[in-house]
Amino acid sequence: MSTFEAILLTIVTASTPLLIAALGELVTERSGVLNLGVEGMMAMGAACSFAAAVTFNSTLLGVGAGIVAGTLMAALFAVVVLGFAANQVGSGLALTILGLGLSGLIGAPFVGARRDPVAPISIPGLSDLPVIGRLFFGQDLFVYASILLTIAVAYYLGRIRSGLTLRSIGENHTSAHALGLPVWRVRFLAILFGGACAGLAGAYLSLVYTRFWSPNMTAGRGWIALALVVFAAWRPGWALIGAYIFGAATVLQLHAQAAQFGVPSQLLSAVPYLATILALLLLSLRHGRALGAPGSLGTPFVPDR
């Protein structure tokens, strides 16, 4: 396998968690809720999945634990912002702080442990093709799942009735409520979906990407996923493209660090964060502000009387 192929492969691995987390947040935001707790839910997903996978020696159980952890964190957020109509920005931040702390507690006994790589699923015949073979047909299950998830979310939002309901609620919750659409129920489920995705993304980080646990290993990926949603103008297809651009930026800076160009490694490490700011800036320059943002994003829903 050439270096080039190896780089392409790692790009896919780096992009997949970003994509999964961004898709979850995209659905949450389309329902009108801004959950800034992605980073915390992802950290919990990573810690819990790793702990479960090591304890039970099962990747499957690990993934399940990651999803459950993300969903539970999201449920806590949902109770606070839907049940009490608390400020969404503050509550999301709190969720991130809580998730980072709690994941440290859960992961502490597992620092130093390592997991075996997850076997890629090769599609016979096709995966032997040169270059594109491994790239497209020799990935692990998560990668295929993330692509399917993108298609599913796009289809759901565009073609399925409950997807239309979800979009309507995110667009204008007052009108939706007047029509009798179940604002709270849909938002609750959308928040849970976002949490499950963030948990899954975290599980991928600790079980596939690094294969070990370390505190703060999410390193801002949850925040980048949030930025991706804005970058994608709330469209799943663009989230896919954006995730791969960011994944590529991350991987290329790692390779640049290894190659030792004489550039400080910290500067290269800052590339994904600077790239995020740049991407948001370029987007605003092209389209003006908040293109495609759901109409009631971030505003608590309290029906009049």
Q: Which 204-243 residues touch another protein, going by CB under 8 A?
A: 215, 219-220, 223, 226-227, 230
Tokens at residue 136, please? 């497209």
Instruction: Looking at residues 33 to 72 of the shown chain, list those that interact with another protein (rule: CB under 8 A).
Output: 36, 40
Least distance in angstroms from the C-beta of 208 to another protein:
23
Least distance in angstroms from the C-beta of 230 to another protein:
6
| Nearer to another protein (CB atom), residue 120 or residue 220 | 220
Longest Cα–Cα distance in the chain: 66
Instruction: Looking at residues 279 to 298 of the shown chain, list those that interact with another protein (rule: CB under 8 A).
Output: 280-281, 284-285, 288-290, 295
| Nearer to another protein (CB atom), residue 9 or residue 81 | 81
Instruction: Report CA-CA distances (Å) from 49 to 68, 223, 255.
Output: 9, 20, 28
Please provide residue 28's backbone torsions phi and psi, each rounded to the nearest 5 degrees: -60, -45
| Nearer to another protein (CB atom), residue 118 or residue 181 | 181
Tokens at residue 188, please? 């609750």
Least distance in angstroms from the C-beta of 280 to another protein:
5
Instruction: Looking at residues 154 to 183 of the shown chain, list those that interact with another protein (rule: CB under 8 A).
Output: 161, 164-165, 167-168, 171-172, 174-181
Least distance in angstroms from the C-beta of 43 to another protein:
10
Least distance in angstroms from the C-beta of 82 to another protein:
8
**Cα gap 217→275, rounded to integer Å:** 20
Least distance in angstroms from the C-beta of 107 to another protein:
9
Binding to another protein by residue 303, rule CB under 8 A? yes
Contact 32, 153 (CB under 8 A): no
Binding mask 250-279 for another protein (x = CB under 8 A): --------------x-xx-xx--xx-xx--
Binding to another protein by residue 245, rule CB under 8 A? no
Q: Alpha-carbon dihedral of residues 302, 195, 69, 270, nearest 10 degrees?
A: -120
Least distance in angstroms from the C-beta of 242 to another protein:
13
Q: Is 183 exposed, middle or buried (0-12, 13-18, 19+ CB in 10 A)?
A: buried
Name the H helices within the chain: 3-30, 38-56, 59-78, 88-107, 132-137, 141-159, 161-171, 173-178, 183-204, 221-231, 236-259, 265-269, 271-287
Cα three-residue angle 257-7-11, rounded to 5 degrees: 95
Q: Is 257 exposed, middle or buried (0-12, 13-18, 19+ CB in 10 A)?
A: middle
| Nearer to another protein (CB atom), residue 145 or residue 219 | 219
Total site size for another protein, rule CB under 8 A? 71
Instruction: Looking at residues 77 to 136 of the shown chain, list those that interact with another protein (rule: CB under 8 A).
Output: 80, 83-87, 89-91, 93-105, 108
| Nearer to another protein (CB atom), residue 125 or residue 262 | 262
Contact 224, 14 (CB under 8 A): no
